[in-house]
Amino acid sequence: MTDLSPRRQHTLSRGLAAFDAASRSRRSRRSMVRAGIAVACLGATVLAADRLLRSAPPRLPAYVEIISTDLQLVSELEMANACERIARTDGRLCVVECVPARQ
């Protein structure tokens, strides 16, 4: 029973070769999945650490008022009567000349 015909021997060797190829493929897929999971976990950890360690922007004191528009800036400067010439160049508001407020 241990003697196999050449045809059976060939069939057996092809089957064993196919089994080895399938098991190698399975092992490589498993290791790629594990590496992908490790990379995803590392990325999630880095993102979580970045969000947790990111410091909040410093808060301004209550008396500070942010001027957000050009009109508001012009009106504030005119009310203070501090600046004599205000010009707009390239879409930006520029204070050309200022003098101390007179009392």
Instruction: Report how far residue 87's alpha carbon sits from residue 42's, in angstroms, rounded to the nearest whole number.
Output: 52
Instruction: Report how far residue 38's alpha carbon sits from residue 102's, in angstroms, rounded to the nearest whole number.
Output: 68
Instruction: Report how far residue 90's alpha carbon sits from residue 97's, in angstroms, rounded to the nearest whole number.
Output: 18
**93 pLDDT band (50/70/90 cuts)?**
low
Tell me the average pLDDT across 3-10.
Answer: 87
Instruction: Report how far residue 34's alpha carbon sits from residue 29's, in angstroms, rounded to the nearest whole number.
Output: 9
What is the CA angle 64-78-89, rounded to 5? Answer: 90
Q: What is the pLDDT of residue 26?
A: 95
Lowest average pLDDT, out of 22-31, 72-81, 88-97, goes to 88-97
Chain Cα centroid distance, residue 14: 50
**Extents of the domains making up the chain:** 1-54, 60-103
Say which amino acid occupies 68: S
Q: What is the pLDDT of residue 31?
A: 96
